[in-house]
Amino acid sequence: MPKLLGPLAQAITFAHAPMKGPLGADHLEVVANAGLLIDDAGRLAAVGPYPALAKQYPKAETWQPLWGAPLVALPGFVDAHTHACFAGNRALDYDLRIAGRPYLEIAKAGGGIWSSVQATRKASQADLAAATVAYANAALRRGVTTLEVKSGYGLSVAEELKMLRAIRTADGQTEADLIATCLAAHICPKDFDGGPAAYLDLVVEKLLPTVWQEGLACRVDIFIEETAFDHTLATQYLQRAAAMGFQLTVHADQFTAGSSQVAVAVGAASADHLESSSEADIARLAASDTVATALPGASLGLGMGYTPARKLLDAGACLAIASDYNPGSAPMGHLLLQASVLAAAEKLSTAETLAAITYRAAHALRLADRGRLAPGQWADVQLYATDDYRQILYWQGGMEPALVLKQGKVCLTSESPAEASEPAP
């Protein structure tokens, strides 16, 4: 039997909001005194004023919000770029960075990604799955109902498969959806007997066929940078992966400009980082269907400038914001906090910021079934104990959801409205 959730003070629906370019308050498509009708399959069947829905669907099971307090409904957040499957930490790297050592210098000296590779290789598949579940559940408590999770700390056929199998196991042990991405092309492993070209050949010939056959991931990623792979090798690798059926995404323009042009040229779903994107890069991204994904957690962790989010939107790009949760450059992993900080730094409207972590982030993963509160979408919903949606960004991550639904089922609830309302000073 369908369930009618409401009445809610406000529902932020984004029902017809555009996929690209700037957004204003009208694009939020706020429904006041709202109701959400959820069908037996866990999808939204109707969204609108509660009195009208109650009259139209008199046989629906009514589901009153908790406590009778005012609540604002948002689509569940989508974190479109994380490295949540790993072992160990890089506190030493961080200590060196805040003392003034550059990221690339630390990486060349044996820190950086390679130190996480060594720790992850020592971990069991079960331990990696458990760590991934723990993070996914923590993110779910903050309203993130879908997370992308990359491999990339194995960097051998056996170890990458171990990571991807751990991610698959974790997906079955958390109510959040985990979308796996194969990032075997993170860097060329230091213990590989050959150069970057030979390593990418190994990945294509020995790893990706098994990944595809076992259904471990439908997406591949590559890091284009001085310490990783150059434009030519990356283009060839991505084209070969695409021919096998994989969706593409790229770590682009993090320290040097220009690699986002590779992402556009190969038709990647997203180009992520973009802290160093040039005006030409911005123009090409805006003219494409490649989502520009900002990772403010990496900017905070590395002490560097933010992705030029305002310029990207004004040029007409589709902007997503993701946490980049990882043990090195972005260990915070708090998506709403990061989005709030980027909004203040880049002068993003509330609509632009929330869109970047809901339906536009879903588009970066090519998921059209979530990110909006509209009929046919999964009922991935979060409710905040407030009567004004503007409070959610105002508290910069300090206000957390009072209730989270995944496909119409409650997977998180606070015991009282006080737990999730305005944070104590």
Reduced 3-state DSSP string for 344-390 = HHHCCCHHHHHHHCCHHHHHHCCCCCCCCCCCCCECCEEEECCCCCH
Element (H, E) at 409: strand 409-413
The DSSP bridge partners found for residue 47 are 36
Q: Amino acid letter at 275? A: E
Q: Vertex 79, ends 82 and 71: CA angle to 5°?
A: 145
> For residue 327, is the peptide bond before it cis, meaning its omega torsion is within 30 degrees of 0?
no
Helix (H, G, I), strand (E, B) or coil at 96: helix
* CATH entry, 78-364, from 3.30.300.30, 3.30.830.10, 3.20.20.140, 3.30.2270.10: 3.20.20.140
CA distance 186 to 289: 24
Question: Which whole-number Å values give the CA distances from 156 to 60, 149, 193, 200, 214, in the listed order?
Answer: 53, 18, 12, 11, 17
Domains 3-75+371-419 and 78-364 share a fold: no
Averaged over successive runs of 10 residues, the pLDDT of the chain (425 residues) comes to: 95 98 98 97 98 96 80 98 95 85 76 90 98 97 97 98 98 98 97 96 98 98 95 98 98 97 98 98 98 98 95 98 96 97 98 99 98 98 96 96 95 58 54
How many Å apart are CA 37 and CA 46, to the nearest integer? Answer: 5
Closest CA to 338 of 301, 286, 287, 288: 301
Determine the Cα–Cα distance for residues 251 and 273; give it in Å rounded to an integer: 6
Please check whether residue 386 is in contact with residue 379, taking contact to mean a CB–CB distance below 8 angstroms.
no
Domain map of the chain by residue range? 3-75+371-419, 78-364
| C-beta separation of 229 from 237 below 8 A | yes
Angle (deg, nearest 10), helices 125-141 and 157-171: 40
Q: What pTM does this model have?
A: 0.95
CA-to-CA distance for 118 and 107, rounded, in angstroms? 13
3-state SS of 229-289 is: ECHHHHHHHHHHHHHCCCEEEEEECCCCCCCHHHHHHCCCCEEEECCCCCHHHHHHHHCCC
Task: Determine the Cα–Cα distance for residues 210 and 216; give it in Å rounded to an integer.
Answer: 8
Q: How many CB atoms lie within 10 A of CB 94?
A: 18
| Domain at 3-75+371-419: CATH architecture | Roll (2.30)
Confidence at residue 67, expressed as pLDDT on a 0 to 100 scale: 64
C-alpha span between 353 and 392 (Å, rounded): 11
